[in-house]
């Protein structure tokens, strides 16, 4: 099977933004942007699959964790653009192995996260299949023209990351302790996204869903620049390797202009400078002086 | 497994429309409605799964047909609300059995239907799985407050249907001839939807995705009324049974005030009066004088 990148290229090929379509950003960022006529807001759109056997296992994830995660992934994309969620649509294939309480637990948990983040569940689709498949579309909003994008980083910008990395990958391996809880219960950084947009005026942002090395590469590719980083802050017990390449973190990676000094933490989550945007081959990430291969998760590569 | 209706009830339970959310219609129609602040338009949102083994078979549907159908289903929901599509998001699990041209054919075909209907493909998600799973979200637009809904029918309204029914179910059985082509290549009635909204000022509309008996019942339930119908117009070779209960038609079922006289056809598609909205038990459909059981397709009932 081809790599995800090749198939995305095909998807990109059918994506043209015609004049007057009011789609102001198409494929290639955490969310696409639609600018309704006459409105003061831009609307952000993202959709994320969450699939048994690919993103989680039946044996390790209860219905409530599946429901919460299915929504959290898309909320994290909205956070990365500096938006606040407005509503969501939920497609669910109820697995044939599900017991009678399963759907109740799934929707109650998803609904609780939706309610606590101001996300209105406005519809969805249901089917059944052997495996559990979730697909959640979230619409968020930002003031017109204010979305944080991947392509805005400039040379000499400082690179920051929220939280401590590698915990999710560590937990997936050990299946115990705080690292495992971290993997099971990701927290979309919605408040932080708004803070980056309004107070730090971040130049670019992305959420770390596929690993720092791959997601930083994406930010650099979009901005047509390179990056130089040192070791990122690590989750207790996680290796440097896991912090650099582990996915499913849902922390925010962002850049700010030189001279902007983020606080040490925001709402209890540390904000750590890990490097600098530099002139160089587009997408190249240098780690402690050597080129870092992008080893994050690509569903199609294996 | 519970019926789809029960699980939808659970989904409904987590759906509350808070004050000021700008969601003006939630779960329970072909699309939900979001009214952006300051805009002259309402935005319509729908999402539809299209799954191997549930909605189609690998043996019978080529990649191009799968791509087209996956989008056509959601476009039909927008047509039923009187909207025109603006953009879509496409989630796709590429099946492990797919050959190298498969994804190209899928996206080219989906892209062609998108381009011909003014739908901009703005993003999506990709994964892989044993079976092919598509989930397409479409956003459409109508002038503020003008969407056609299921709940607007009034007693004495005339009930109409577009096209001739039963062909899709007939084709699924015979797998040959025009009925089979009809099943493989559904046509969303976008132009008709706008005509119903602007010219006939239809009081209610729904697309026939799960069969006339079930979809008319839904329209009647939403409008808190009953209906009396005679035999619907039949696709050549289709039985009355198939015309009454066959799904995957994507024709529009709509109601107009007494005195409104729709043309005999619109853009070559016949418009046929099949009955009248009447006072009676909410959701009851009488066919030639007898109560018609809703026998349309429910993925969870079997």
pLDDT band at B5 (very low <50, low <70, confident <90, very high): low
First to last CA, chain B: 9
pLDDT band at A19 (very low <50, low <70, confident <90, very high): confident
Does residue A202 sit in the same domain as residue A123? no
Q: What is the mean pLDDT of chain B?
A: 92
Does residue B155 sit in the same domain as residue B119? no
Q: Which residue has the higher pLDDT, B4 or B182?
A: B182
Which residue in A11, A93, A300 is closest to B107 by CB distance? Answer: A11
Q: What is the mean pLDDT of chain A?
A: 92
Buried b (16+ CB within 10 A) or exposed e, B265-297: ebeeeebbebbbbbebeebbbbbeeeebebbbb
A:48-107 residues touching chain B, CB 8 A cutoff: 48-49, 51, 53-55, 86-87, 89-91, 93-94, 96, 98, 100, 103-104, 107
Does residue A156 sit in the same domain as residue A271? yes
**Lowest mean pLDDT segment, chosen from A1-15, A17-31, A130-144, B160-174:** A1-15
Which residue in A11, A93, A107 is closest to B51 by CB distance? Answer: A93
**Would you say residue A13 lies in a domain?**
yes
B:108-127 residues touching chain A, CB 8 A cutoff: 108, 110-111, 114-115, 120-127
* Number of domains forming the structure of chain B: 2
Does residue B154 sit in the same domain as residue B285? yes
The pLDDT score that the predictor gives to residue A78 is: 98
Across A222-230, average pLDDT = 97
Give pLDDT tens digits for B195-217: 999 999 999 999 999 999 999 99
Specify whether the CB–CB gap between A80 and A206 falls below 8 A: yes
Please tell me what DSSP assigns to residue B21.
Answer: -
Q: Is the pLDDT of residue A136 over 90?
A: yes
The pLDDT score that the predictor gives to residue A293 is: 87
**Which of these three, A87, A115, A143, is where a domain ends?**
A143
**Would you say residue A223 lies in a domain?**
yes
Contacts of B135 in chain A (CB under 8 A): 47, 49, 91, 125, 135
Does residue A234 sit in the same domain as residue A110? no
d(CA B300, CA A103): 12
Q: Is the pLDDT of residue A251 over 80?
A: yes
Does residue B160 sit in the same domain as residue B67? no
CATH of the domain at B70: 3.30.1330.10
**Would you say residue A302 lies in a domain?**
no
Give pLDDT tens digits for B60-94: 999 999 999 999 999 999 999 999 999 999 999 99
Which residue in B18, B49, B124 is closest to A125 by CB distance? Answer: B49
Across B2-28, average pLDDT = 76
Give pLDDT tens digits for B104-154: 999 999 999 999 999 999 999 999 889 999 999 999 999 999 999 999 999
pLDDT band at B297 (very low <50, low <70, confident <90, very high): low
Helix, strand, or coil (residue A208): coil
Does residue A261 sit in the same domain as residue A180? yes
A:283-302 residues touching chain B, CB 8 A cutoff: 299-300
**Would you say residue A105 lies in a domain?**
yes
**Would you say residue A187 lies in a domain?**
yes
**Would you say residue B55 lies in a domain?**
yes
Residue A152: count other Cβ atoms within 10 Å of its Cβ: 16
The pLDDT score that the predictor gives to residue A297 is: 60
Q: Which residue has the higher pLDDT, B75 or A298?
A: B75
In angstroms, the Cα distances linking A263 to A82, A146, A266, B199 are: 17, 21, 7, 59
Does residue A271 sit in the same domain as residue A188? yes
Indicate the helix (H) or strand (E) that contains B7. Answer: helix B4-13
Best of B63, B78, B127, B139 to disrupt the A interface (most A CBs within 10 Å) is: B127
CB atoms B14 and A114 under 8 Å: yes
**Which of these three, A92, A126, A143, is where a domain ends?**
A143
Across A66-92, average pLDDT = 97
**Which of these three, A143, A166, A181, is where a domain ends?**
A143
The pLDDT score that the predictor gives to residue B100 is: 80
Does residue B107 sit in the same domain as residue B218? no
CATH of the domain at B268: 3.90.650.10
d(CA A107, CA B223): 27
CB atoms A40 and B40 under 8 Å: no
The pLDDT score that the predictor gives to residue A300 is: 47
Cβ burial of A36 (10 Å; 0-12, 13-18, 19+) is: buried
Does residue B219 sit in the same domain as residue B243? yes
Q: Is the pLDDT of residue B4 over 70?
A: no
CB atoms A40 and B41 under 8 Å: no
Does residue A98 sit in the same domain as residue A177? no
Does residue B90 sit in the same domain as residue B114? yes
The pTM is what? Answer: 0.93
**Would you say residue A296 lies in a domain?**
no
Q: Is B143 on the interface with A (CB under 8 A)?
A: no
Q: Is the pLDDT of residue A301 over 50?
A: no
Which residue in B23, B91, B123 is closest to A45 by CB distance? Answer: B123
Q: By residue range, what is the domain housing residue B37?
A: 4-143
Could you give the angle at which helices B63-80 and B190-198 cross, rounded to 10 degrees? Answer: 0
Q: Name the residue of chain B whose CA is nearest to A9's CA.
A: B104
pLDDT band at B258 (very low <50, low <70, confident <90, very high): very high
Contacts of A86 in chain B (CB under 8 A): 21-23, 34
CB atoms A22 and B110 under 8 Å: no
**Would you say residue A23 lies in a domain?**
yes
């Amino acid at each position: 099977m081809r790599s995800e990148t090749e198939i995305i290229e095909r998807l990109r090929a059918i994506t043209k933004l015609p004049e007057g379509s009011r789609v102001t950003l198409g494929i290639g960022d955490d969310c696409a942007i639609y600018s309704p006529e006459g409105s003061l807001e831009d609307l952000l759109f993202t959709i994320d699959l969450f699939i048994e056997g690919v993103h989680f296992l039946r044996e390790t994830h209860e219905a409530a964790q599946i429901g919460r995660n299915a929504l959290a992934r898309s909320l994290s994309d909205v956070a990365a653009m500096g938006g606040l969620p407005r509503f969501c649509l939920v497609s669910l294939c109820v697995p044939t192995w599900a017991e009678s309480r399963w759907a109740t637990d799934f929707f109650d948990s998803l609904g609780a996260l939706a309610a606590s983040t101001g996300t209105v569940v406005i519809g969805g689709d249901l089917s059944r299949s052997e495996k559990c498949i979730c697909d959640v579309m979230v619409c968020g909003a930002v003031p017109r023209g204010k979305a944080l994008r991947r392509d805005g980083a400039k040379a000499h910008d400082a690179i920051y990351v929220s939280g401590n990395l590698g915990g999710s990958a560590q937990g997936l391996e050990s299946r115990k302790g705080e690292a495992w809880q971290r993997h099971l219960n990701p927290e979309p950084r919605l408040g932080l996204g708004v803070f980056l947009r309004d107070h730090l005026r971040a130049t670019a942002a992305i959420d770390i869903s596929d690993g720092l090395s791959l997601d930083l590469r994406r930010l650099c590719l979009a901005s047509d620049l390179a990056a130089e980083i040192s070791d990122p802050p690590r989750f207790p017990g996680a290796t440097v390797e896991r912090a650099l390449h582990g996915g499913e973190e849902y922390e925010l990676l962002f850049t700010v202009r030189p001279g902007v000094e983020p606080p040490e933490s925001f709402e209890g989550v540390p904000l750590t400078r890990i490097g600098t945007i530099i002139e160089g081959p587009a997408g190249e990430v240098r780690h402690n002086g050597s080129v870092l291969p992008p080893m994050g998760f690509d569903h199609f590569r294996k």
